Structure formats: C-alpha cells, structure tokens
Amino acid sequence: MNRKIKFNIISATIDSTSQVLNYIKHIKNAHQSHSNCIELNLIIVDQFDSNREYIFLQELPSLTYIHSNQKGLSLNRNIGINQLKSNIYTFLDSDCEIDSTYFENFLSSFEEKNNNCMIYGSIKSTENKNINVFKKWPIRSKKFNTLEKWIYSTSVNIIYIGKPIYFDEHLGLGTYFGSCEDIDYALRFDKESFFNSNLHIYHPSQRFEDINTQKVISYSRGYGALCRKHFSTISIFFFISSIFYKIIKIKQKNIKKTLLSIKGRFQGFLKFKN
C-alpha cells in the first residue's frame, strides 16, 4: 500500500483515569506494527469532571482530546465526529481492547472493498477471547443484508468508510431512550456491509442479571424507539420477537427485570416521535 490511511477511533468516556490510560495503551500497542501504513487519530471525548488532557497526552501525544461538560453518549460521539481527519472511522468504548490483528484485518477488508462500505467484526470476551459477547457471531466472512444489520450492529464492532453522519441525540446512554443509537446509526449509514470473521474487538462480558433495573427499562425504551423510528415489517418482526424471547427465557429471579424490559419496549415504541 503506497499511501498512509487515516484511521479515526472515537471514544466518548467518563471512565476512571486508570481505565482510560489502559485503553490508550492497548490502542497504541495495536497500532504500532502498522504505523507505517496507518495514521491513527484517536479522539477522546472526555465527560469526566476534571480535564485530563495532560495525563492522556503523556501516554499518546498524537491523540485528539476534547473535554465535554455535557453528558450523553450520542451527543459526545457527535462532538468526536467533528474531529475526524478522514472518512474512515469507528467507535470504541474505553473498556474495549484490540490487538495488532485488528488493523491487519481491517487492511485486508479495505484493500478488497476500498470505498463506501461498513466493515463488521465480532466482539469477544476480554476474560476469554474465544467466547462471544452480546451475539452469536457468524463463523465465516460474508456480506450482510438489512436483516443482519439489525442483528449484528453494535457501538463498537463496525468500521465506517464513507461520508460521516451524526447520531440521533434522542437515543443512547444518558437519554430517556437509553440504547440502540448504534443500530439506528448503522441503518442510516446505508452502505454495503461486510462481516470479517477475523476482525475482533474484546469487551467485558455482561449478564442480564448484572444490569440494574433503571438501566434495563432505559435500554428497553431505546429498543422500542428504534423499532418505531424504522417502522417496517422488519422492525415489527424484531419488536414482537424480542418480547416473545423475553417471555420464553424468563427466570424466576429475573421476573421483575423481564417485565420491566417488556414494559420499556412498549414505552419506547409508543412515546418516540420522529
């Protein structure tokens, strides 16, 4: 490859200083072996109470740092989007990890697809890197259709190549409709989508049992709002299926959370206004 590719990573965070520093180190180390062909622009949009620019620049002098006094994941990612240096970008949380194979597999997909597309990877557990997180990911690389975009889109597993768009700030963590800004974003980006089975992002595992009731209902409102916003046969199918799935999988100790999850879906669907 003759030219350096400008690759942007946007991370909106409120995590502890040690957590963010550890994250920056992982990104820096992963990029090191590909620094000859990839110019990395790591954008930190920091919602922490105090400005930590000096601390983070000590670890990675080239990073772009913005201190934000506003809360909200979508809002702060949009602030990060304004700092992009190219039309190749992704979003990672500061509890994620990547390794050198991340950039290697991005390059292999990029050389094949090159322009105006979405490259999907899978999310594996940071505790056990063979275990899937959030989804049962496909085994083989493939092209995704719209149905699969609904299923496999998350905040951290998509590399976008094309003219950037902005998040809907009514959706996502910190809002009434507290999730699914990522699926909404992917559906609106509306480019060809390809899954690379070798492209991995590592993220801590999360169990339904560990999510507090306030988050359960907020996340569920987000899902209902998503289905309302993208109202179609597909969205109705997913809305109804998600409720039946919750009922089928209900456990005695999680009855309250499951009922709140179902309630939240209906609230989101009925209250969201385009």
Mean pLDDT for 96-109 is 94
pLDDT of residue 94: 96
Domain regions of the chain by residue span: 5-203, 208-271
Q: Hey, what CATH class is 5-203 in? A: alpha beta
Whole-model pTM above 0.75?
A: yes
Here the tokens at position 154 are 């998350």
Using the predicted structure, report yes or no on whether residue 1 has a pLDDT greater than 60.
no
Mean pLDDT over the full length of the chain: 94
Least confident of 21-35, 113-127, 202-216, 230-244: 202-216
pLDDT of residue 112: 83
pLDDT tens digits, one per residue of 64-99: 999 999 999 999 999 999 999 999 999 999 999 998
CA distances 109 to 17, 98, 113, Å, are: 34, 17, 6
Q: What percent of the chain is modeled with pLDDT above 90?
A: 85
Cβ contact 43:83 at 8 Å: yes
CA distances 113 to 6, 63, 110, 196, 244, Å, are: 16, 27, 5, 12, 38
pLDDT of residue 246: 87
pLDDT tens digits, one per residue of 157-200: 999 999 999 999 999 999 999 999 999 999 999 899 999 999 99
**Helix, strand, coil % (nearest 5) of the chain?**
45, 20, 35
pLDDT tens digits, one per residue of 202-255: 999 877 677 888 999 999 999 999 999 999 999 999 999 999 988 887 776 678
